[in-house]
């Protein structure tokens, strides 16, 4: 069963979304040549503390390994769940994905963005722009009466039309009191399949897109996911609410 949030829960989800988006925005502003991914993660932890949020990723358990960082920072061939390191110092030409998932007043806001440290080649800008657009293409399908597969297939078709590949091994997800709720939201699939979407569902839609092959591998640290061909990749994510009208992006920062 996909949970339908009550009005009270939606109010909390809006706040959690706003806080998650604020933290991601502040971290993105700190991305610059010379900063290590460890320092960037620590900065994220500090922003969480200042805003009264806690990390949903820190100590998150999957299998044997609990996740050791407050945010996920993944560079170049790293797709998701990169681990901050003092030795990993950002430099010109890097592609940096930051994923911020926080608890705020008992609810989770989850969002991610990929930024580049200019200058980067045109194919990298195409990769990043297409992945961001794919997120909005997917969100546009999040309407009552549509099916989950409509989101998945819209993302896949858009990405493949742009000569890039969608990752199969990691998916978006329902989000609420827990970071991962039903349903799983693949970035590939067939239209008009899967569960019917309803107002009140809150979903984290997150296209992960590779420049080369769609295949990924897990590094021996048990967390870092890299592209199998070690080519660059990108990742964008929003937490959204399905409404009777247009989907509401809960992690969209109004400035």
Q: Do the beta carbons of residue 106 and residue 12 sit within 8 Å?
A: yes
Member of 110, 150, 181, 248 binding Co ion (CB under 5 A): 110
- Binding-residue pattern over the window 200 to 219 for Co ion, x denoting contact by CB under 5 A: ----x---------------
Return all residues near 126 (Cβ < 8 A) that are at least 6 apart: 162, 164
Interface region with Co ion, contact rule CB under 5 A, candidates 28-36, 106-114, 119-127, 246-254: 106-114
Member of 22, 37, 57, 146 binding ligand MF3 (CB under 6 A): 57
Written as six digits, the tokens of 92 are 């010109």
Going from the C-alpha of 50 to that of each of 22, 26, 32, 43, 169, the distances in angstroms are: 11, 12, 22, 11, 34
Does 181 contact ligand MF3 by CB under 6 A? no
111 or 165, CB closer to ligand MF3?
111
Does 148 contact ligand MF3 by CB under 6 A? no
Does 72 contact ligand MF3 by CB under 6 A? yes
| Minimal distance, residue 26 CB to ligand MF3, in Å | 17
196 or 253, CB closer to ligand MF3?
253
Does 5 contact ligand MF3 by CB under 6 A? no
Q: Do the beta carbons of residue 208 and residue 95 sit within 8 Å?
A: no
Q: What is the DSSP letter of 57?
A: S
Does 206 contact ligand MF3 by CB under 6 A? yes
Member of 12, 13, 21, 67 binding ligand MF3 (CB under 6 A): 67
Q: Total number of residues binding Co ion (CB under 5 A)?
A: 2
Q: Which does 67 bind (CB under 5 to 8 A by kind): ligand MF3, Co ion, none?
A: ligand MF3
Residue 27's φ and ψ, nearest 5 degrees, are -70, -45
User: Which own/partner contact pairs does 117-122 have at CB distance under 8 Å and 24+ positions apart?
Assistant: 117/31, 117/32, 117/33, 117/90, 117/91, 117/92, 117/93, 118/92, 119/92, 119/93, 120/93, 120/95
User: What SS3 class is residue 127?
Assistant: helix
Is the link from the previous residue into 119 a cis peptide, with omega within 30 of 0? yes
56 or 127, CB closer to Co ion?
56
User: What SS3 class is residue 158?
Assistant: helix
Does 237 contact ligand MF3 by CB under 6 A? yes
Q: Please count the CA atoms within 13 angstroms of the CA of 240 that sit on its side-chain side.
A: 29
Does 181 contact Co ion by CB under 5 A? no
| Minimal distance, residue 204 CB to Co ion, in Å | 4
Residues that bind Co ion (CB under 5 A): 110, 204
Q: In the complex, which residues of this chain contact ligand MF3 (CB under 6 A)?
A: 57, 60, 67, 72, 81, 99, 101, 110, 179, 204, 206, 237
């Amino acid at each position: 069963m996909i949970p339908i949030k009550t009005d009270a829960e939606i109010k909390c989800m809006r706040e959690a979304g706003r806080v998650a988006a604020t933290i991601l925005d502040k971290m993105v502003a700190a991305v610059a040549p010379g900063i290590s991914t460890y320092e960037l993660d620590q900065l994220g932890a500090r922003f969480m503390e200042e805003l009264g949020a806690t990390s949903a990723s820190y100590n998150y358990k999957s299998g044997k390994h609990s996740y050791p960082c407050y945010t996920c920072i993944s560079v170049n061939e790293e797709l998701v769940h990169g681990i901050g390191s003092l030795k990993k110092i950002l430099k010109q030409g890097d592609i940096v994905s930051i994923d911020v998932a926080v608890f705020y007043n008992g609810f989770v806001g989850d969002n991610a963005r990929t930024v580049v440290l200019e200058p980067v080649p045109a194919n990298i800008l195409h990769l990043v722009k297409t992945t961001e657009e794919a997120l909005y293409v997917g969100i546009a399908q999040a309407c009552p009466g549509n099916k989950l597969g409509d989101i998945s297939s819209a993302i896949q078709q858009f990405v493949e039309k742009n000569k890039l590949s969608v990752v199969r091994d990691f998916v978006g997800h329902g989000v609420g009191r827990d970071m991962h709720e039903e349903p799983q939201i693949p970035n590939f699939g067939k239209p008009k399949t899967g569960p019917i979407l309803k107002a009140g569902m809150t979903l984290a839609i997150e296209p992960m897109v590779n420049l080369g092959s769609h295949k990924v591998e897990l590094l021996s640290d048990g967390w870092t996911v890299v592209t199998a061909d070690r080519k660059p990749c990108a990742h964008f994510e929003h937490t959204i609410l399905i409404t009777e009208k247009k989907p509401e992006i809960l992690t969209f920062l109004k400035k």
